[in-house]
Amino acid sequence: MGLKGHLHMIFNIRNLRQVLFVLVSTLFMLFSTSFAGEKNYFTKIGNIKLYSEYYPNSHAKFKGTIVFQNGAGTSLKEWTQNKTFFNCVRKYGNLFMYDRSGLGKSPPDMSMSLTNPMTPKIINHKLMALLKKRKVKPPYIIVAHSYGGLYAGYFARKHPTLVTGMLMIDPVPNNYEWSDAFLNQFRSIMQKMKKQTTKELYAQHSYAKANKIKILSAQLFFQLIGFEQSKSQVNKLPELSNKIPIIILSSSYMEKHAPIKGDWHTKQKQWLNTNPNSKIIKVNSSHFIQLEHPKLVCDQIKLLVMKNNPSTLSRLRRIRQKLASSGAMGIHHS
C-alpha cells in the first residue's frame, strides 16, 4: 500500500471516530434529556406541607404518570433505594412519588386526633390537591405497597376515569381484621398514647424516633385509630372499574406471617375485578418484593404501560409467556 493509500485509510479512521463520537454524544444527550428536570420539593396543601419527587421522561410512550403510594411507616425511599428497580421503571414513564404527612421528609399533620384519625378520604384529598398543584399529568398507573394499597384502592374507586392500571405489591386486603396477637402487642401503648395531645405524640413518637428505637409512631397510631373508618370508606365506594387492569404481587413471607385473621393470599383477591388482564401472582419473597425482585416488579409496570399502547399487544403476549415460565423465581399465577 502506497503513501496515498495509508493517508486515505487514516482519514477514513479519523472520520469513523468522529462519526462514532457524534453518535455517542447524541445518544447521551437524548438520554440525559429524557431524564432531565427532576423536581423534588415541598408543596403547601392547606395547613400542611408534603414532600414529593417527580421524574419526567419525555421520550416514554406512556404520556401519563406512574404514581407511587408507600406502605405504612415507610418513606418514598422504598421506591428509590433499589437502583435496579428505580432505573428500570424510569424508562416507562413519568414518575411521581411522595411522603404522606408524618413520613419521610413530610412534616406531620397536626390536625390528626382521636376524632380525626388517618383515613383514605383524608389521604386522597391531600393527594389530589398535590397532583393538581404539581400539574402531574393523568392518566395514572398506581403502584402501591402494603397498607398503601388501601389508599390506592380508594383513589382508583373514587377516580376511575383518572386511573388506567394498578400494581398492588403485597397489599392489605380491602376488608380484613387484625389478628389478636397484633392488637395485643400495641394495646397498652395505645391506651397511653390516647391520653396524649397530638403535639406530644409527634414529639415523642416521631417517624425518625420510631425507626431508631422501634416504637409505635404517631403516624401508625392515627392509622390504627382510623382503621375501621378506613375500611368503611373504601367499601362504600363502587367496586374497582373492570376497565382497569389490576396486578397483585403476593409474597410468600406474608402468607405465613401476616398479622391478620384469615388467609393473606385469598383475602388479597378481594381487590381483583373481571378485567382479562387482572391477576394475582405469588412470589417467593419478603414483604418488600420490589427490593428483592426489582426486575419482576418493573416488568409488571411495563405490562400496564404496554396496555396503553395497542401496537405492543404481540410483545405483551411474549412478556406474559416469559413471566409465566419464571418458576425458578418462585412465581405462581392464580
Residue 334 confidence (pLDDT): 57
pLDDT digits 0-9 by tens, 198-237: 999 999 999 889 888 888 999 999 999 999 999 999 999 9
Q: Which CATH superfamily is domain 38-333 in?
A: Alpha/Beta hydrolase fold, catalytic domain (3.40.50.1820)
pLDDT digits 0-9 by tens, 144-167: 999 999 999 999 999 999 999 999
The 3-state secondary structure of the chain reads CCHHHHHHHHHHHHHHHHHHHHHHHHHHHHHHHHCCCCEEEEEEECCEEEEEEEECCCCCCCCCEEEEECCCCCCCHHHHCCHHHHHHHHHHCEEEEECCCCCCCCCCCCCCCCCCCCCHHHHHHHHHHHHHHCCCCCCEEEEEECCHHHHHHHHHHHCHHHEEEEEEECCCCCCCCECHHHHHHHHHHHHHHCCCCHHHHHHHCCHHHHHHHCCCCHHHHHHHHCHHHHHHHHHHCCCCCCCCCEEEEEEHHHHHHCCECCCHHHHHHHHCCCCCCCEEEEECCCCCHHHHCHHHHHHHHHHHHHCCCHHHHHHHHHHHHHHHCCHHHCEEEC
Mean pLDDT, consecutive 10-residue stretches, the chain (334 aa), reads 46 47 41 56 95 96 96 95 97 97 96 97 97 96 98 97 97 96 93 96 92 90 97 96 97 96 97 96 97 98 86 52 54 55
- On whether the pTM is more than 0.85, the answer is no
Sequence spans of domains, the chain: 1-34, 38-333
